[in-house]
């Protein structure tokens, strides 16, 4: 069975609607041996660290989502050195909703990039309708490596990310989008930069639309991208798993 990594999920959250032990069992049965629980706030990041500590094959990222930056992000500095923390994230800029002021989002992003650089950790980036401000901030921090999580933006911003050494993560959106520009952009992601994720419980892929998303469903994302590229699932799984291991360096986080 092809081995996969779900590089972005939120099953550690208290309101995750499925039984987590059963969720992890189904993930293993689908070939998902490694998954990343991603922090979105100080509390969520604490939860991700605690969840990873008690579950094999589960790692944590710690960070404050741009929506929540108004509520604080000081705890991330201490959490970054905890066992099984493999990245800072998800952090970035989101101007679509404006839940936090733009200047607060930028300050939080800068602080968390400083933490990433201090601990030599990659970064999981959430950027929505804000790339014009994001790239100048990113370019101020040399040596940062990371992934553009849930990327659905333009080919131009894809190229900007690739030029900066970024990985690009795709999820269920790619299996159901009707936007031909997005479809073309997904095909333009080089195989050596591609990651797969669920963002569960959100963005459930085809053919499970209407159900709660879970890490095992990352197999459907991988199957879709293998098919569109004319590859065997085993090859795409091998390549995306190697990419995830290269970026997040799971073995060194124990």
Asked if residues 121 and 145 have their Cβ atoms less than 8 Å apart, the reply is no
3-state helix vs strand vs coil in the chain, percent to 5: 45, 20, 35
**From residue 115, how far is each of 9, 89, 170 by CA, in Å?**
22, 11, 26
> Which residue, among 177, 168, 157, has the nearest Cα to 224 in the 3D structure?
177
Residue 10 assigned to a binding site: yes
Residue 126 assigned to a binding site: yes
β pairing state of 4-9 and 32-38: parallel
Residue 119 assigned to a binding site: no
Residue 149 assigned to a binding site: yes
Q: Where are the alpha helices (DSSP H) in 30-143?
A: 42-53, 76-79, 102-119, 131-139
Which residues define the annotated binding site? 8, 10, 90, 126, 149, 199
Which residues define the annotated binding site for a divalent metal cation? 8, 10, 90, 126, 149, 199
């Amino acid at each position: 069975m092809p081995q996969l990594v779900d590089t972005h999920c939120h099953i550690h959250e208290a309101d995750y609607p499925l039984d987590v032990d059963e969720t992890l069992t189904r993930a293993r049965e689908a070939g998902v041996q490694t998954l990343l629980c991603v922090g979105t706030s100080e509390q969520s990041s604490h939860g991700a660290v605690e969840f990873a500590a008690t579950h094999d094959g589960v790692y944590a990222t710690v960070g404050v989502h741009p929506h929540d930056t108004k509520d604080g992000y000081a705890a991330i500095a201490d959490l970054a050195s905890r066992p099984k923390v493999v990245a800072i994230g998800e952090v970035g800029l989101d101007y679509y909703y404006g839940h936090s002021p733009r200047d607060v989002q930028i300050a939080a992003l800068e602080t968390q990039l400083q933490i990433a650089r201090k601990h030599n950790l990659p970064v999981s980036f959430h950027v929505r309708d804000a790339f014009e401000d994001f790239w100048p901030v990113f370019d101020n921090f040399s040596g940062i490596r990371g992934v553009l999580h849930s990327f659905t933006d333009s080919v131009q911003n894809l190229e900007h990310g690739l030029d900066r050494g970024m990985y690009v993560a795709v999820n269920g959106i790619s299996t159901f989008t009707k936007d031909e520009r997005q479809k073309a952009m997904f095909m333009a992601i080089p195989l050596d930069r591609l990651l797969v994720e669920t963002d569960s419980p959100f963005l459930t892929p085809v053919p499970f639309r209407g159900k709660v998303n879970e890490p095992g469903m990352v197999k459907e994302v991988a199957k879709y991208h293998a098919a569109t590229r004319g590859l065997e699932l085993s090859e795409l799984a091998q390549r995306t798993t190697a990419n995830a291991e290269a970026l997040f360096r799971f073995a060194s986080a124990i």
